[in-house]
Amino acid sequence: MNRRFFSAPVFSLTFGLSYAVAVYGNYPLFRFYPLVGRFAFHDLATLSLGPAMTWYGWIATAVIAAGIITAIVPKGISDRLPAAAFWIVPLAMLAAAFYRERGWFLSAVGN
């Protein structure tokens, strides 16, 4: 891709943030039902197709959101991103993920 229209630093930061929002808010673009090998844009839980996998949908949601944001952000802004953002944002996301999933981690300690 042309560097003028695509900024890898902006994409990587916004992808991570978009993925966190998609997971936390449960906004998958689609769901996959592995027992029947079917994709659906809405929840088909009432059809007894087994459990849905939303991970693929979360990834697709984050890619689309990050692509749109990357296309909107001017090159001048993306060139001025501080290097600390590439450490602070992932660490903050890791802390948020740990906080959201704390039940899994703390229940293993208590057993």
What is this structure's pTM? 0.76
**How many other C-beta atoms are found inside a 10 Å radius of the C-beta of residue 66?**
20
Distance CA 18, CA 3 (A): 22
pLDDT of residue 30: 93
Provide the token pair at 76. 């001048």
The pLDDT tens digits for 62-107 are: 999 999 998 888 877 777 888 787 788 888 888 888 888 888 777 6
Map tokens 């849905």 to a residue.
52
